[in-house]
Amino acid sequence: MEDIKVLIDEEKLLNRIKILGEQITKDYKKSKELIVVCILKGSLYFTADLTKHIKNNNLKIDFMKVSSYGDEFISSGKVKIIKDLDTDIKNKDVLIIEDIIDTGNTLYYLKNELNTRNPKSLKICTLLDKKSRRQKDITPDYIGFEIEDKFVIGYGLDYKDLCRNIPYVGYIE
């Protein structure tokens, strides 16, 4: 993969994530059970770095993997659960950690699905928000960065499952 341009460098990412973590710490101070749901694979680094800044002794991390049928650039709206949670989220505070919200199709599905399991609360935290491309009415509760309509890679985000290990968020021109 040649000529990757930096959109958000590592320092900027980590500074913003620390602030998000502090905000989430405040908001969930009274939570007795907080389940942080890492959406695989894209959110792996974001979840890892963010949860280090969420000071809460009742926090558990769980994983979910969903796939949207479609090509590698655009999701189609049809979503399938590939790996479900291990945890029963009934009456628990649930925070979904997503790498990027684009059309909103994935999270629209996921939010409805998790809501049927009757959590105490359900919120969404996304590192990146491509707001201009939204097709579904999905508003994240926490946003790292709003970005323009560019296909981004790195810091967990992939192109054909590659480039996830780049430590910054970049794009190819």
Interface residues toward Mg ion, by CB under 5 A: 42
Q: Which residues bind ligand IMP (CB under 6 A)?
A: 42, 68, 75, 98-106, 151-153, 157-158
Calculate the alpha carbon distances from 113 to 17, 22, 80, 81, 110 in Å.
27, 28, 11, 10, 5
Nearer to ligand IMP, 25 or 151 (CB): 151
Could you list the active site residues?
102
Contact present, 90 and 112 (Cβ < 8 Å):
no
Other beta carbons within 10 angstroms of residue 168's beta carbon come to 17
Question: Rounded to the nearest whole angstrom, what is the least distance from the CB of residue 69 to Mg ion in the complex?
Answer: 13
* Nearest alpha carbon to residue 153 among 50, 6, 17, 46: 6
What, of ligand IMP, Mg ion, none, does residue 113 touch, CB below 5 to 8 Å by kind?
none
Question: Rounded to the nearest whole angstrom, what is the least distance from the CB of residue 100 to Mg ion in the complex?
Answer: 8
Nearer to ligand IMP, 34 or 110 (CB): 110
